[in-house]
Each structure stands twice: as structure tokens, then as C-alpha cells.
Amino acid sequence: MRILTAGGAGFIGSHLVRALLAAGWEVTVLDNLSTGLKENLPDGTDFITADVRDEETVRRIMLEGRYDAAVNLAGQTMVDASIKNPRLDAEENILGTVNLLGAMCRAGVKRFVFASTAAAYGNVAAEDLPILENSALAPMSFYGLSKVTAERYLALYREIFGIDYVVLRFANVYGERQGDGGEGGVISIFTKRLAKGEDITIFGDGEQTRDFVYAGDIAAGIMASLVTKNVNTAYNLSSCTETSLRQLVSLLAQIAGRDIVPHYAPERTGDIRRSVLSNQRAVRGLNWQAATPLIEGLKKTYEYFAARAGR
């Protein structure tokens, strides 16, 4: 298969591209390098510098590429940034997706895999956890709203133009090569600072929870979504395990081999209190489940950033 991966030089994209190439698939990466890095990709990766918001360029690339499918990992991924600049968030996450979909229609590309988010659900009552895919979509941030809106475009493009799609609502993804943004960014922030011997700060009381899932497992889920017959639906990609930030710090202390006493600061606007996603639909429909225990993934991540810090 020949795959166009928008945002492929980013954190999750770098894990996906490696997995696709290892499996013998043809991959072209489209990225504007606003947050991604070419050094994240293996040498020789077919790479195009372009922005998904550039309609004419996206159309030309899609027409020339003869792709079997497209994966959209491009976009704005930070809750706080979406609050500060809703317009930019909408341009990247909605308009960029619409440009890709329009280009696919003209080029005859029939499958689109879209990276969505647990932020689509908003704050869910404790009795309704873990969150199912048919739970109400009630985002608390413009980031979550832009992803939900893009999902609805996918459904209409399917109805009107016949493009098959798979929506993947990621839990809190973490791993090597992650930046400080995004929903799993707390792990990259903490591991980078710990690797440098610096202090860490928790926003809130530390009892807020997240569902952390390793980026290599996310890459495997995306690959499964490219070949599954169970399309035109949404899947949660998650560990289905709830971990508090205090628990996370305790695990990192074990890995770093030292005590960690975090600073505390006021919680941030738009942050969700508790989050854990059911992954049973993905188990059934994609034959996928998270395979990397949190302690193992954290160790890989810490060792990566420690090596970069020279420790």
C-alpha cells in the first residue's frame, strides 16, 4: 500500500512512519515542520514540505501521489493553545482536514484515517467511565471542538462522496521524540526535566487522571485501521487504565532512581479532571490493543530524553 501521512514528521507520525516502512509499505510524509522535525524520520523517507492548509498544494500532491490511503496526524494538539488562539486551531484541525478530504475526492483516494482525541468527550461523570465511543461528545476546549467538527465532516464526506474513514480517538499518547505539547505532553515535560535534574510542576492537585498509551502502540492501531474492513466509525485507542499524575510521578521516581517532590500550581482552563477510555471496540474491530505496560514505556521515554540530555 502507498500511504500519504500528513504530519508524519511529528511525534506520533515518526513512530507510524517507522512502523510502516518496517512492514514494507510505501510512505510519503507531508509536513510543514512547524512542530515536526525531519530528523525524527529515518534517512531516505519520501518527504514533502507542505502545509495542509494550502489547498492547491495539497490537491497537487494528492493527484500526483496515487495513494491508497491518507492518514491525518497534522494539526494543532494543545488544549491551552486552542484557548489562546481558537482561529489557528480551527484552521489547522478543520480546514486542513477539509483540504485533504477534497483532494482525496479528486484523486480517487478511498480511505482516510483521522487522528482525533479523548478531549472530544469533555468531562465525563465517574459512573460513566471508562468512556465508550457512543458517549456524548461534549468538548471543553476549542481543540476538542475542532476535532469533533472534523469528525462530522468525515461522516458527511462518506455520505456524499463515498470516502471510507476511520476516526481514532487517542488517549494520552507518550513516548520517544515527543514535544512538550499535546495530551500526553506531561510525560515528555516531566521526563525531560528529570533527565536534566530539574524540578517538575503539577497543575492542580495531582489527583487528575489520564489514560496513557505508548506511541508505538498507537502506530500499530493506525496500521490496523488502514486495512480493517470495519470502517466508517470511531475507535478509542487507549490502555483502558486510569493513572493519576501523583502515580505517574511515583513511577518516574522508580525509573530515575531518586525521590521526586513536585511543585504545585493552579489547574489550567480546559483541562479534564478524569479520563479513561474503553478500548473494546478497537479490540473487536481492529484486532488491536495496547501492548506496552506503562512502566516499560516510561522507561523507554526517560532513557531517550536522558540520552539527549547527556546523562
Contact 135, 121 (CB under 8 A): yes
Grouping H, G, I as helix, E, B as strand and the rest as coil, residue 218 is helix
For residues 265 and 88, what is the distance between their CA atoms, to the nearest angstrom? Answer: 27
Q: Residues, the chain, total?
A: 311
Amino acid occupying residue 174: Y
Q: Which residue has the cell 493553545?
A: 81
For residue 44, the Cα-to-chain-centroid distance in whole angstroms is 24
Specify whether 67 is catalytic.
no
Q: At what angle are helices 294-309 and 185-195 packed, to 10 degrees?
A: 50
For residue 12, the Cα-to-chain-centroid distance in whole angstroms is 6
Return the closest-CA partner of residue 45 out of 72, 96, 5. 5
For residues 211 and 294, what is the distance between their CA atoms, to the nearest angstrom? Answer: 10
Grouping H, G, I as helix, E, B as strand and the rest as coil, residue 255 is helix
Residues sharing a CB contact under 8 Å with residue 105, sequence separation 6 or more, in sequence order: 157, 161, 163
For residues 243 and 184, what is the distance between their CA atoms, to the nearest angstrom? Answer: 12
For residues 250 and 38, what is the distance between their CA atoms, to the nearest angstrom? Answer: 34
Q: Which of 143, 174, 235, 302 is catalytic?
A: 143
Residues catalogued as catalytic: 143
